[in-house]
């Protein structure tokens, strides 16, 4: 038997309403799950939401706190990623450090090929031995094409070999439309990515390497070989953003990946194709401001807090808590908050044995003209079944009572 709750209410207050159990209870047959994996479908808002415009030809703005795409403007169209390529380059190095293939104290020697790389560079001399840590800072803060080449040659033997690692890692992370021919983002007709893929690499960096993100992407300036290098991310200088990467080439014009956090809520923005650096910074800031002010996160359930509990029959525990695997929520324009609908379905009881993570129901967030978001409710612990003797003991214990 399934228990179905259906509540039409302002999503902003929905979690409070759930806590008060002020929901209409209905008994219904179970519906077929559209997403049994436990991963919610990402809600994508209309491309031209009110005020949602941009001078940039390519835009992708996402609220990471609710997995909601706030703006999408040709985010899956191939484009030159320029130096935003270096986000994946750094990711591959972070992964090698984590797996023990490299240490920050290791040194690589600057090859003549690396030393003569064109474009933005940190000051490196041929034959110089440089630590992985300094090279990483040079890649991220100084956008050093030469530093990318040194790291690529040191880890994979050649930049071509390193690109094979990049392309494989991009596929592993779920990128659908990226191909890399060098580690720095220098122009190449066979080197491309998309706003959505660049956002994916950035989000995975935040998830898998949060400390490295804090340590490297917020660096505004550093000195190496007696030369001062400034980070080109202007949003760092006033604390508006806490990191990520800029890019600029003749083919791609000016682009930026930027992330900003306010009151525990993090937005991730990718823009590309803007005419100059000043307009890039202004447009990135405007879009982030718009995302934070125009949209409001509505959180229904969190993995860290039990959503509800159900009885267990024939088990060594009388009940289990149900939780979501990811935060169940959506970010909505303020005018749509009172039009949301939350539908909760779960079994009225479970039969032991129960495995931790076993699906027991789902939460659906329904908003008119939006893709429904579905979150699976799972058991938060194992519950073993009563043995034959346990059942006998339980029977006599109940009889005595």
Active site residues: 83, 86, 143
DSSP per residue, 327-395: -EEEEEEGGGGGG-EEEEEEESEEESPB-TT-EEEEEEEE-TTS--EEEEEEESS-BPBPPHHHHHHHH
Instruction: Give alpha helix (H) positions in 99-143.
Output: 112-115, 132-140
365-398 as b/e: b if 16+ CB within 10 A = bbbeebebbbbbbbbbebbeebeeeeeeeeeeee
The token pair that represents 266 in the structure block? 């993090």
Q: What angle do CA 163, 205, 372 make, to 5 degrees?
A: 110
CA-CA-CA-CA dihedral for 357, 358, 360, 361, to nearest 10:
60
3-class DSSP state for residue 211?
Answer: helix
Cα 210 to Cα 204: distance, rounded to the nearest angstrom: 9
- State whether the Cα torsion 332-335-337-343 is positive or negative: negative
Q: What are the phi and psi torsion angles at 309 (to 5°)?
A: -135, 155
Backbone angles phi, psi at 349, to 5 degrees: -160, 165
Residue 162 CB burial class (10 angstroms; 0-12, 13-18, ≥19): buried
Burial classification of residue 148, based on how many CB atoms lie within 10 Å of its CB (0-12 exposed, 13-18 middle, 19 or more buried): buried
From residue 173, how far is each of 181, 209, 311 by CA, in Å? 18, 14, 39
């Amino acid at each position: 038997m399934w228990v179905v709750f259906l509540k039409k209410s302002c999503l902003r207050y929905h979690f409070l309403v759930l806590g008060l159990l002020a929901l209409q209870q209905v008994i219904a047959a179970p519906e077929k799950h559209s997403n049994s994996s436990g991963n919610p479908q990402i809600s994508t808002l209309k491309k031209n939401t009110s005020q949602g415009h941009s001078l940039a030809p390519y835009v992708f703005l996402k609220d990471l706190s609710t997995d909601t795409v706030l703006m999408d403007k040709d985010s899956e169209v191939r484009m030159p990623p320029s130096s935003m390529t270096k986000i994946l380059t750094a990711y591959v190095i972070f992964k090698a450090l984590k797996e023990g293939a490299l240490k920050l104290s290791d040194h690589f020697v600057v090859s003549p090929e690396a030393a003569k790389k064109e474009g933005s560079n940190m000051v490196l001399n041929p034959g110089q031995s440089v630590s992985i840590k300094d090279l990483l800072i040079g890649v991220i803060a100084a956008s050093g094409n030469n530093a990318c080449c040194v790291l690529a040659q040191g880890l994979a033997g050649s930049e071509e070999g390193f690109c094979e690692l990049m392309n494989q890692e991009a596929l592993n992370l779920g990128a659908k439309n990226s191909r890399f021919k060098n580690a720095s983002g220098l122009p190449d007709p066979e080197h491309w990515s998309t706003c959505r893929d660049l956002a994916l690499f950035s989000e995975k960096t935040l998830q898998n390497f949060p400390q490295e993100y804090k340590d490297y992407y917020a660096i505004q300036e550093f000195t190496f070989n007696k030369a001062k290098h400034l980070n080109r991310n202007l949003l760092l200088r006033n604390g508006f953003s806490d990191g990520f990467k800029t890019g600029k080439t003749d083919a791609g014009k000016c682009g930026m990946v930027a992330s900003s956090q306010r009151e525990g809520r993090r937005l991730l923005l990718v823009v590309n194709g803007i005419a100059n650096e000043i307009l890039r910074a202004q447009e990135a800031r405007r879009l982030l401001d718009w995302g934070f002010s125009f949209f409001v996160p509505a959180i229904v359930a969190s993995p860290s807090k039990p959503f509800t509990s159900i009885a267990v029959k024939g088990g060594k525990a009388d009940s289990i808590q149900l939780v979501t695997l990811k935060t169940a929520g959506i970010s909505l324009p303020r005018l749509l908050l009172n039009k949301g609908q939350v539908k909760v379905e779960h079994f009225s009881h479970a039969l032991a044995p129960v495995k931790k993570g076993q699906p027991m129901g789902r939460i659906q967030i329904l908003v008119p003209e939006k893709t429904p978001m579905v979150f699976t409710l799972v058991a938060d612990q194992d519950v073993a079944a009563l043995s034959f003797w346990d059942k006998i003991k339980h029977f006599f214990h109940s009889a005595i009572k």
